[in-house]
Amino acid sequence: MVLILILGNKNYIMQKGSIRVQTENIFPIIKKFLYSEHDIFIRELVSNAVDASQKIKTLASIGEIKGDLGELRIDISIDKDKKTLSIADKGIGMTGEEVDKYLNQVAFSGAEEFLQKYKGQNEANIIGHFGLGFYSSFMVSSKVEVITKSHKENAVPVRWECDGSPEFTLEDTEKSDRGTTIIMHLNEESLEFLEAERIDTVLQKFCKFLPVPIFFEDKQINNPVPAWTKKPSELTDENYQSFYKEMYPYGETPLFWIHLNVDYPFNLTGILYFPKIKQSYEIQKDKIQLYSNQVFVTDEVKDIVPEFLMLLHGVIDSPDIPLNVSRSYLQGDPNVKKINAHITKKVADKLDEIFKNDRKSFEEKWESLGLFVKYGMMTDDKFLDKANAFFIMEDTANNFYTMEAYKMATETLQKNKEGKQVVLYTTNPIQQDVFIQQAIAKGFIVVKMETLVDAAFINNMEMKWPDIQFTRVDADIADNLIDKSDAKESVLSKDDAEKLKALFDKPLDGLQLHVEVKGLSAEMVPVTATRPELMRRMKDMASAGGGMGAWYANMPDEVNLTINGNHPIFTDILAEKDEAKQEKLVKNLADLALLSQGLLTGNNLTSFINRSVELMSAS
């Protein structure tokens, strides 16, 4: 049986009643299912106080309220002796009738249907159309008091009290100024909110940019007019950089930024910053914050921001993003996809603008920008279409090429038999220097692909660019990098070449060797170890845990040993009468080649060092 209190326009001399819900289970549901984190109650109550303050300003602006509004501010205070936390505003206030309407009726229709539908459901399924923010106070309170005075002329202040059951009291009280104060008597499980440091942390997280001044312990804790709420024409570079420091105190000055300001077909404001990233391992996601009318919602924005732009920093504010009542989950809505597509376009347009107007600056920033661009090209085809124009590659001589420019520069020398343009690349210019120098000597252009995303980028782009083939510069000897060429003449006789091949063609633990003797330039190294491009890629992916990882990881490394039959050292080795020494010399040359590929480790490396010392001592 529910007691419904009918209230008129009279004073409230202590009246009692029941909150008008068709069941007594509303508060347990609020406590258990509505909010994933208890500290969110501060956000909800302060947001309500902001709304009340904004409403009074609106009424004044249309002439419904005359006179000075006074200082509009929100004050948060702690009383450790009474174990209370209070939030007070100087906003629109409420009459007794309004308290009854907004608090006692739980501010939503179809309560019974709501409860039957969502009782026991995951919070992600509770959609935020019910105005339940105030009731988050009961998650931490054994009792809640509301003392309020309406802005209306001759309004009588009232006091509302509830202990978390459907029972409440409502009575006249004393209050001199307009506005509402909510006093929470904290329960034993929530006494952490009597600690100033705890409250300050929550306020900094949720309320840092709310549009009404918020004071805690006599100190204003928020910036009511953050940079993203202003027009770009009102801001200087220093303003943007200062706001970045406000959000990320320990971050380096960003490369540049994009100011979002859309009012049709959806409302969206914000600033996205491109951070400096010197090393791939510095990549950090979840650095973009989502706000709704300056109220912090979440930093998990994967449904709003394209995946590759999760590497950016900054803030997005949109009242058109649909949220559930706890504001923790985005709901399916066409606006989310539209916003996602708009952000992608704005970023692509900004990158294209910088590339066209200040290419030198673009190239200087490429070490950081390249990560965003490559990630975007892999994961977003619309971005790929635009990025084809400003994607660049840096060669080993520090020259930059767009893909079209690289094709033109390598048209005659770097096409394979299938007609594909071969892009030669290095993942480690220092370690692969000998291969780079040999390639450059043949007129090839070698570009740098050194970041963590490059292995995936190369594999992905070969599928999206059917006329391009990427080949690592150490995948073969320079003569064979583009296509297998006919063997040059060797100074060795056929018998000597076969003997030399037999000397090198010895089983090695964990390696599958393929040995060939070729007549190369006498200035080239005597032995070159290379790993076929496809097999090396598969092994690299396996080590990163991708693809058919376990299968490839357990396969022996496939290595091609190319013996330069024209190198003068082999004349001496073939003439060596001491077979043991001859074998050691051959083994050392092979080990030197394997060392250049990082394939000489453990006992094999130790044996190489000891053998080298022995040969030097013997000489």
The 10s digit of each residue's pLDDT in 38-60 is 788 898 899 889 989 988 988 88
Both tokens of 473, joined, read 């510069």
Q: 15-218 has which CATH code? A: 3.30.565.10
- Give the per-residue pLDDT at 332: 58
Helices 196-206, 40-61: inter-axial angle, 10-degree rounding = 60
Domain with CATH 3.30.230.80 in the chain: 227-360
pLDDT tens string 170-181: 999 999 999 999
pLDDT, position 5: 35
pLDDT given for residue 484 in this prediction: 58
Mean pLDDT of 580-589: 90
Pairing relationship of beta strands 268-274 and 313-317 according to DSSP bridges: antiparallel
Q: What Å distances lie between residue 580 and 476, 504, 584, 585, CA to CA? A: 30, 14, 6, 9
Per-residue DSSP letter, 453: T
Q: Where are the CATH 1.20.120.790 domain residues in the chain? A: 494-530+557-618
- Rounded to whole angstroms, the Cα distance separating 21 from 115 reads 10
Rg of the chain, C-alpha, whole Å: 36
In this prediction, residue 125 carries a pLDDT of: 32
Residue 561 pLDDT greater than 70, yes or no: yes
pLDDT at 167: 84
**What average pLDDT does range 432-456 have in this prediction?**
91
Average pLDDT, whole number, for the chain? 83
Cβ proximity of 597 and 540 under 8 Å: no
Say what the pLDDT of residue 189 is: 92
Query: In angstroms, rounded to a whole number, what is the distance separating the alpha carbons of residues 2 and 23?
Result: 8
CA 430 – CA 396 distance, rounded (Å): 10
At the topology level, CATH places domain 227-360 in Ribosomal Protein S5; domain 2 (3.30.230)
Residue ranges of the chain that CATH labels 3.40.50.11260: 391-480
Whole-prediction pTM: 0.75
Partnered with residue 180 across adjacent β-strands are 148
List, in sequence order, the alpha helices (H) in 101-220: 111-118, 196-206
Question: Does residue 333 have a pLDDT over 70?
Answer: no
Percentage with pLDDT > 90 across the chain: 42
- CATH fold of 391-480 reads Rossmann fold (3.40.50)
- Is the separation of the CB atoms in 68 and 56 below 8 Å? no
Q: Where in the chain is the domain with CATH 3.30.565.10?
A: 15-218
For residue 494, the model assigns a pLDDT of 87
Q: Are the C-beta atoms of 175 and 88 separated by less than 8 Å? A: no
pLDDT of 71 > 80? The answer is yes
| pLDDT > 50? residue 114 | no
The mean per-residue pLDDT over the stretch 339-352 comes to 92
Q: Are 315 and 244 in contact (CB under 8 A)?
A: no
The pLDDT value given to residue 252: 87
Architecture of the domain delimited by 494-530+557-618 = Up-down Bundle (1.20)
Mean pLDDT of 444-455: 91
**pLDDT above 90 for 511:** no
Dihedral sign from CA coordinates of 35, 40, 46, 47: negative
**pLDDT confidence band for 390 (50 / 70 / 90):** very high
Most confident of 23-32, 326-335, 552-561: 552-561
